[in-house]
C-alpha cells in the first residue's frame, strides 16, 4: 500500500501543505500548517483521517502561520527543529516540541524521520517517510531555497543538497512551494533537471551559480 499523501496548495505564495500518514491508519501529520488550517483539517477528515502531529520544515511565516490555530485546537502535537525554535513567536515556543537531526516521530504506524538540511535556515528540515521526501524550502522542483535571508548559509545548503541528491533516485520529492514544472518530482528527476544538483561536485561552482532567488 502506498503512503497516504495529500498535497494542498494554499496561500498567496503557492505554499504546499501536506497531509501524510500510513495507509489504512487514522493518524496523520500535517507538514507546514499554514494559511488555511481549517481547510486542511477538513481535507484530512474527508479522507477519514485525524491530524495528530504538526511538523514544520522551518520557521518562516509562510510555513508556520497556522501554528497558533493548531495550538488553539489542541490534540495536535507541533514539532520543529531545535535550531529554528527560537525564531518562532515567543508565546508559542513553549508549546512546540524541539527535535534534533535524525530524530523520528511515530504517526500511528508510520515513522517520519527528520532529515536536517540547514542552509535556508539553521533548522531547516526535510521529512522522510517511506519513499517520500518533503523538501520544505530546501529543495524545490528545479531549484533550491534561497540562502540570503537571515540565518541562511550557502555552504550549508551545498552540503545539505549533496546529501539530498544521494538519496535513492526513486524517492518522491514533495516540495514546499509550487515553483516547478510539476508539483511532485523525484530525486532521479532532480539529478537530471535541477541546475543546483548539477553544481554539487564543486562548492565554488555552486556558490558562483545564481538563479532567480526562491523563498
From the list 9-17, 25-33, 130-138, 204-212, the region that binds Zn ion by CB under 5 A is: 130-138
Q: Which residues of 71-102 are buried (b: 16+ CB within 10 A; e: fewer)?
A: beeeebbbbbbebbbebbeeebeeebeebeee
Interacting positions 136-155 with Zn ion (CB under 5 A): 137
56 or 99: whose CB is closer to Zn ion? Answer: 56
* Contact between 36 and Zn ion per CB under 5 A: no
Measured at CB, which residue is nearest to Zn ion? Answer: 60
Interface size with Zn ion, residues (CB under 5 A): 3
Per-residue contact string for residues 58-77; x = within reach of Zn ion by CB under 5 A: --x-----------------
What grid cell was written down for 86? Answer: 527560537
CB atoms within 10 A of CB 206: 21
84 or 137: whose CB is closer to Zn ion? Answer: 137
* Residue 70 dihedral angles phi and psi, to the nearest 5°: -60, -45
Give me the least distance between CB of 195 and Zn ion, in Å please: 20
Give me the least distance between CB of 82 and Zn ion, in Å please: 17
- 3-state helix/strand/coil string of 47-89: CCCEEEEEECCCCCHHHHCCHHHHHHHCCCEEEEECCCHHHCC
Give me the least distance between CB of 121 and Zn ion, in Å please: 7
Give me the least distance between CB of 175 and Zn ion, in Å please: 12
From the list 5-13, 55-63, 93-101, 160-168, the region that binds Zn ion by CB under 5 A is: 55-63
CB atoms within 10 A of CB 191: 15
Which residues are near Zn ion by CB under 5 A? 60, 137, 215
Amino acid at each position: 500500500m502506498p503512503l497516504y499523501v495529500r498535497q494542498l496548495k494554499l496561500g498567496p505564495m503557492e505554499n504546499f501543505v501536506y497531509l501524510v500518514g500510513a495507509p489504512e491508519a487514522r493518524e496523520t501529520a500535517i507538514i507546514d500548517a499554514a494559511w488555511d488550517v481549517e481547510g486542511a483539517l477538513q481535507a484530512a477528515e474527508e479522507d477519514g483521517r485525524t491530524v495528530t502531529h504538526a511538523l514544520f520544515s522551518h520557521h518562516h511565516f509562510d510555513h508556520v502561520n497556522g501554528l497558533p490555530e493548531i495550538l488553539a485546537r489542541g490534540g495536535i502535537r507541533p514539532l520543529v527543529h531545535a535550531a529554528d525554535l527560537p525564531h518562532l513567536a515567543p508565546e508559542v515556543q513553549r508549546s512546540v516540541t524541539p527535535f534534533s537531526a535524525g530524530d523520528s516521530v511515530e504517526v500511528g504506524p508510520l515513522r517520519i524521520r527528520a532529515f536536517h538540511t540547514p542552509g535556508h535556515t539553521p533548522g531547516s528540515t526535510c521529512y522522510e517517510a517511506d519513499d517520500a521526501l518533503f523538501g520544505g524550502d530546501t529543495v524545490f522542483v528545479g531549484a533550491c531555497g534561497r540562502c540570503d535571508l537571515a540565518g541562511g548559509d550557502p555552504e550549508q545548503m551545498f552540503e545539505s543538497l549533496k546529501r539530498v541528491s544521494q538519496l535513492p533516485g526513486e524517492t518522491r520529492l514533495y516540495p514546499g512551494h509550487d515553483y516547478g514544472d510539476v508539483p511532485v518530482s523525484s530525486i532521479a528527476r532532480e539529478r537530471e533537471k535541477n541546475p543546483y544538483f548539477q553544481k554539487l561536485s564543486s562548492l565554488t561552482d555552486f556558490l558562483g551559480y545564481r538563479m532567480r532567488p526562491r523563498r
